[in-house]
């Protein structure tokens, strides 16, 4: 499953060692993980948090490989396949139970029992195995009675069944790796984990990903679909690098559990709230007839899907909306931020240094609107802006800094563009106001405002060095 392209510059993984970009996102890459590649991006305050998250995710992936691998002779799955019954670990039992549940839900078009059928395909030959051999192995596996005792976590494996859990095990591993990374780095703001093209995004930011077009000949061809994911998983299943080539003919590595035959050359992309669901459904939809598969996807809460076969495309009703880019702010609308600098009765009063800036809902910087204070030493005193933005933009202070102002009521406008002058998309934004005073205190306010086709307002109460602050979004008269 390698048909996912990371399109967000903050999420792109380009090197074998971690590196940081201007958004505070650290990227990691490892090869030979679960027989494929492992990519991770962590958005955090500092490199140490990102390293903790990556180390925890990697350790969890390696641990689960020892449990679920169908290729390792020393895995727990191998022990189960070598015995009639096994008291399984919580992870192995959960995966076997999930395979059986999805087998029932898909009417047998998804199965974790295909080890004997895969073994028949693995016999060295110049041609595909005979239909009768494959059908007999499939029927034995699918007609057998697998018993699961949840109280003792015991799996009874009947003759004819060899478990092969690849259809959803990667999704289970991704979900577990993300949970481990979040425990190890609780202050991280966002993460993305991608194992061989199946991925899970979490946190306060959007991740743009593209689904590769299976009909495209060039690796750098435009994607067939582009999605913006936030706290979502994406899995793609279908023909690919794992296909078998016999007598010059390509056979999909996916198998139809009903016949044992190679599945049609069909590809399915599924987005869901968790990676296991996305992985299982993508596997099933690549085997099922398109109409049947899309009906199943529509009936599964929080799921959208796209199915390819040749030049044909089918999708769920919400897939197009998931692919649409947000509309830009309406022309003529702007934001006015009104803030108050209170008079503080102290003997050695110094006028405060003030910052006003805008971020998106995930706190990715959009634009600095105001810098009051020309002395370089004041910068780090406004530490929220400095840590997240100022130290990464060394020229912005010199370009924008203005003299400090006495107590009073002031206003600053935002025309809805980013630092490059591009009009931003409609959505939720955060106005940040920060003030610090020499020999005085520090204050930081935020106002969330929904910017769209209708006017909106927001406000923040007075706090230390700042009086009440208001943001008003409306069309300019």
Q: What is the DSSP letter of 459?
A: E
DSSP characters over 326-391: PPBPPTTEEEEEEEEE-----TT--PPEEEEEEEETT--EEEEEEEE---GGGGGGSHHHHHHTGG
Query: Can you give the pLDDT at residue 220?
Result: 57
| pLDDT score recorded for residue 376 | 64
* In the predicted structure, residue 165 carries a pLDDT above the cut 50: yes
Choose between 220 and 450: higher pLDDT.
450
Q: Specify whether the CB–CB gap between 178 and 199 falls below 8 A.
A: no
Query: Highest-confidence range of 85-94, 265-274, 303-312, by mean pLDDT?
Result: 85-94
- Please report the pLDDT score of residue 428 as a whole number: 87
| End-to-end Cα separation, the chain, in angstroms | 53
Report the side by side order of strands in the sheet with 408-414.
408-414, 333-341, 469-475, 456-460
Hey, what domains does the chain have and what are their CATH numbers? 4-72+164-323 (3.10.520.10), 333-475 (2.60.40.4070)
Question: According to the model, what pLDDT value does residue 8 have?
Answer: 39
350 contact partners, CB below 8 Å, separation of at least 6: 437, 438, 439, 440
Least confident interval from 4-18, 138-152, 450-464: 4-18
The 10s digit of each residue's pLDDT in 103-118 is 999 999 999 999 888 8
Closest CA to 36 of 242, 280, 238: 242
Do residues 429 and 340 make contact, with C-beta atoms less than 8 angstroms apart? no
Residue 42, pLDDT above cutoff 70: yes
Instruction: Give me the pLDDT at residue 25, please.
Output: 86
Q: What is the 3-state secondary structure (H, E, C) of 266-321?
A: EEEEEEECCHHHHHHHHHHHCCCCHHHHHHHHHCCCCCEEEEEECCEEEECCCHHH
Please choose, from the candidates 91, 100, 194, 92, the residue with its C-alpha nearest in 3D space to the C-alpha of residue 141.
Answer: 100
Residue of 398, 422, 402, 395 lying closest to 356 (CA atoms):
402
4-6 sheet: strands from edge to edge: 4-6, 207-211, 225-229
Burial class from Cβ neighbours inside 10 Å (0-12, 13-18, 19+) for residue 141 reads: buried
Strands (E), 167-294: 190-195, 198-203, 207-211, 225-229, 233-237, 244-246, 249-251, 266-272
Residue 4 pLDDT class (50, 70, 90 cuts): low
Highest mean pLDDT among 292-296, 384-388, 438-442: 292-296
| Strand-by-strand arrangement of the 353-360 sheet | 365-372, 353-360, 427-436, 442-451
pLDDT in tens, 224-254: 788 888 889 999 987 666 666 666 666 767 8
Q: Which of 56-60, 279-283, 294-298, 347-351 has the lowest mean pLDDT?
A: 347-351
Given a cut of 90, whether residue 310 has pLDDT beyond it is: no
pLDDT, tens only, 320-352:
888 776 678 888 899 999 999 988 877 777 888
CB 406 within 8 A of CB 351: yes
Q: Which pLDDT band, with edges at 50, 70 and 90, does 191 fall under?
A: very high
CA-closest candidate to residue 445, choices 336, 355, 352: 355
Average pLDDT for residues 275-294, to the nearest whole number? 95
Q: What is the pLDDT of residue 331?
A: 86
CA 75/CA 87 separation, integer angstroms: 14
Please list, in sequence order, all residues whose beta carbon lies within 8 angstroms of the beta carbon of residue 253, skipping any fewer than 6 positions away. Answer: 239, 240, 242, 243, 244, 262
CA distance 243 to 245: 7
74-83, 146-155, 297-306, 381-390: the lowest-pLDDT one: 381-390
Q: What is the pLDDT of residue 212?
A: 76
Residue 354 contacts residue 339 (beta carbons within 8 Å): yes
Burial class (CB in 10 A: 0-12, 13-18, 19+), 352: buried
Helix axes of 166-184 and 275-285: crossing angle, nearest 10 degrees: 160
pLDDT at position 19: 39
- Here the tokens at position 440 are 């005085």
Q: What is the pLDDT of residue 211?
A: 83
What band does 17 get if pLDDT is binned at 50, 70 and 90?
Answer: very low
Q: Is the per-residue pLDDT at 15 higher than 70?
A: no
Least confident of 157-166, 261-270, 328-337, 454-463: 261-270
pTM over 0.85: no
Q: Which residues contact 138 (CB under 8 A, 6 or more apart)?
A: 114, 117, 256, 257, 258, 259, 260
Across 148-170, average pLDDT = 95
pLDDT at 233: 96
Q: Whats the size of the chain, residue-wise?
A: 477
Give backbone dihedrals phi and psi of 276, rounded to 5 degrees, phi first.
Answer: -65, -45
Here the tokens at position 58 are 């990697």
Lowest mean pLDDT among 4-13, 186-195, 322-331, 457-466: 4-13
* Mean pLDDT score, 415-440: 86
CB 382 within 8 A of CB 435: yes
Helices 90-105, 275-285: inter-axial angle, 10-degree rounding: 40
Between 468 and 8, whose confidence is greater?
A: 468
Query: Which tens digit of pLDDT belongs to each residue from 381-417?
Result: 776 777 766 665 655 555 667 788 888 999 999 999 9
């Amino acid at each position: 499953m390698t048909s996912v392209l990371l399109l967000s510059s903050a999420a792109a993984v380009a090197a074998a060692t971690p590196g940081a970009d201007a958004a505070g996102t650290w990227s990691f890459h490892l090869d030979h993980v679960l027989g494929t590649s492992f990519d991770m991006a962590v958005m955090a305050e500092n490199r140490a948090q990102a390293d903790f998250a990556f180390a925890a995710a990697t350790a969890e992936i390696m641990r689960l490989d020892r449990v679920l691998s169908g290729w390792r002779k020393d895995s727990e799955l191998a022990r189960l396949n070598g015995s009639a019954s096994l008291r399984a670990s919580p992870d192995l039992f959960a995966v076997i139970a999930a395979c059986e549940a999805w087998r029932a839900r898909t009417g047998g078009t998804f199965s974790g029992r295909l080890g004997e059928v895969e073994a028949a395909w693995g016999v060295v030959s110049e041609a595909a195995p005979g239909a009768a051999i494959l059908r007999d192995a499939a029927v034995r596996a699918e007609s057998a009675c697998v018993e699961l005792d949840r109280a003792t976590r015991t799996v009874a494996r009947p003759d004819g069944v060899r478990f092969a859990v690849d259809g959803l095990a990667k999704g289970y591993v991704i979900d577990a790796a993300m949970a481990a990374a979040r425990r190890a780095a609780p202050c991280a703001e966002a993460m993305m984990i991608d194992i061989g093209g199946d991925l899970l995004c979490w946190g306060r930011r959007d991740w743009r990903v593209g689904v590769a077009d299976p009909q495209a000949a060039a690796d750098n061809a435009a994607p067939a679909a582009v999605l913006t994911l936030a706290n979502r998983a994406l899995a793609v299943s279908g023909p690919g690098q794992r296909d078998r080539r016999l007598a010059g003919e390509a056979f999909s590595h996916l198998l139809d559990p009903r016949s044992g035959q190679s599945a049609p050359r069909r590809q399915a992309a599924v987005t869901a709230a968790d990676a296991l669901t996305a992985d299982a459904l993508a596997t099933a939809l690549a085997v099922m007839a398109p109409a049947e598969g899309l009906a199943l996807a529509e009936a599964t809460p929080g799921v959208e899907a796209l199915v390819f076969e040749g030049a044909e495309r089918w999708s769920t009703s919400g897939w197009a909306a998931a692919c649409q880019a947000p509309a830009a702010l309406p022309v003529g609308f702007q934001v006015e931020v009104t803030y108050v600098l209170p008079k503080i009765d102290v003997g050695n009063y110094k006028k405060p240094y003030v910052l006003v800036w805008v971020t998106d809902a995930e706190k990715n910087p959009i634009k600095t609107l105001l810098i009051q204070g020309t002395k370089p030493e004041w910068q780090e005193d406004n530490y929220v802006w400095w840590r997240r933005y100022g130290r990464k933009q060394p020229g912005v202070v010199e370009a924008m800094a203005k003299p400090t102002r006495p107590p009073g009521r002031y206003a600053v406008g935002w025309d809805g563009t980013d630092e490059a002058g591009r009009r931003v998309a409609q959505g939720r934004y955060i106005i940040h106001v920060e003030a610090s005073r020499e020999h005085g205190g520090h204050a930081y306010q935020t106002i969330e405002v929904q910017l769209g086709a209708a006017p909106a307002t927001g406000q923040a109460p007075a706090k230390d060095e700042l009086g009440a602050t208001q943001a008003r979004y409306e069309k300019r008269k």
